[in-house]
Chains A and B, each alone.
Chain A
Amino acid sequence: MRATRLVWWLVLVVVGLFYLVPMLSMARFAFQRIPVIKLSLDNVFDRWTVEPLFDTFGDPNFRKAALLSVMLAVATAVATSVLLLPTMVVAHLRSSRARKLIEVSAVLPFVVPAIALVVGFAGAFRNTFPFLIRHPLGLVPLYVITALPFTHRTLENGLAALDLRTLVNASRSLGAGWVRTMVAVIAPNMRASIATASFLAFTVVLGEFTIASLLLKNTLPLYLAYAQGQSPQGAFAVGLVLVVISTVFVALSNRFARTVKT
């Protein structure tokens, strides 16, 4: 019994190392100014510096890319809530069939890989709405679609935990219209879920490469791919920051998801 337990511990340790080592290697490469060949037990603690990160922060191209990515992330999160929440509320009030249909439609983005979506998008809109392809904010609808399976799941859990019919009836009987009901009654009650969905949307947008790369928009991941050749240390440092940020976002959404359930 004890021996088999040891085996399972070993499994966890090996997989844990596999999860940990790449991240630590990235951190070392980014923040220590010693090539790996010259690394030895004597100098593992020498020449650590956060300079590469700040050098990159000073790069105007980086700032432009970061600004664009943050803008896209916020726009995607807002567009997701504005588009999805009213639709899902109405579906919940109407019938479980409407709810199921929305649920199925929200999984559809899984069956169209990002690369197929973006080439179809570019082809379909090139002659009709070239504005959407040229303008950076044209990425927002595609990002809303890409994040849809995750954001829908979150909002669905939140709505299922609410006594929606009572809330809406109470609000309507006090004379509030639909818009007011959405903004003043449902949205505040859905705070945790909306926040979770937004975090997930941020994570998707900040990491997305395929779509931005084919539409030639210089978002953060594209900047990273480009900077890899120019100043690898800075690029890896920013890459690590992105990993930390998305880890925090996912951890936050896990936490919120738990508070919704209880």
Chain B
Amino acid sequence: MIKRARHLAFAPYVAFLAVFLGWPAFYVFRSALAPISASRSPMLEAVTGQFRGSFVYSLQLSFVSAFLGLVLGAMVAIALVRLQHVRGLRNIVVGYSSVAANMGGIPLAFAFIAAFGMQGLATRLLREVNIDLIGWGFRISDFWGIVLVYLYFQIPLMTLVLVPALDGLRRTWHEAAQSLGASARQYWRMVALPILMPAIFGGFLLLVANAFAAYATAFALSSGSSRLVPVQIRFFLQGDTITGKTNLGYALAAWMVILTTALVIGFQLLSRRAERWRR
């Protein structure tokens, strides 16, 4: 009796997840797998037809912004280690990183329009020093513009992933390597980097997933006309009037779930591996 009551304690939470997360996800896949006609399946159509380009575009954007976020975020994390004698610096940078990593949506799009848009302040200031972004064809709603905006949350997220990993590098390892005659470069290449690799690669996957799922910022930057997959899904499913094509929207959503699931699982496995050294 008591035992059963204890099981029941989990019931509300489990039921909540099942109804509001499980069922919607199930519905997406069920609709995505329902065939349009005898020979065409929406899942296939979503990645072969005209939407192939959308996926390629979304993935390119995610990978490029994740890669640049990785490089710059790592540089910030290393700078913090190198300058650790400066009091308070680390708290400020890590603190603001946790703010910026959660930034997104409409306000972030506004900030970048105000800075790097046609009439942006940064655009204007850069022109003063003969860097003519607009003249070079840079537009905030284009590929590289969205990459630039996404870097605002990608860089700090990578910093937040890497700072604890760098903390985990023990001084004794460095000393051991040195006493065996390793140069600084050899220490980084043969000791530190291999240990950091799971954290770096895991962080990269997290950044890809992060950019891939983002929607609001790109939507606001392009006034709703972007080729990104999430914006395309909206096009198919918002009105619910285009008959016969709605399943295609669900198929796009299903592919998004599949891709982010793979990325998140990869991240989880790698971060577990990364933590092994931290005990």
Contacts and interface: CB of A to CB of B under 8 A. Distances in A.
Interface of A: 4-5, 8-9, 11-12, 15, 18-19, 21-26, 28-30, 35-37, 39, 83-84, 86-87, 90-91, 94, 98, 102, 105, 107-124, 141-142, 144-145, 203, 207-210, 213-214, 221, 224-225, 228, 235-236, 239-240, 242-243, 246-247, 250-251, 254
Nearest to B86: A9
A12 B93 CA distance: 9
Contacts of B99: 246-247, 250-251
Given A116-B254, A120-B253, A141-B16, A11 B79 contact: yes
6 shortest A-B CB distances, which residue pairs? A120-B24, A209-B216, A113-B213, A22-B111, A25-B115, A8-B79
A251 B122 CA distance: 27
B20 A145 contact: yes
Of B82, B156, B209, the most chain A CB neighbours within 10 A belong to B82
Contacts of B28: 116, 119-120, 123
Contacts of A35: 119
A15 B155 contact: yes
Given A83-B13, A111-B264, A120-B24, A254 B98 contact: yes
A22 B123 CA distance: 11
B199 interface: no
A119 B257 contact: no
A221 B24 contact: no
Contacts of B89: 12
Given A22-B115, A117-B21, A254-B95, A210 B107 contact: no
B5 to A, nearest CB: 9
A167 to B, nearest CB: 17
B110 A228 contact: yes
Contact of A29 (B78, B114, B213, B238): B114
Interface string B109-127: 0111011100111111000
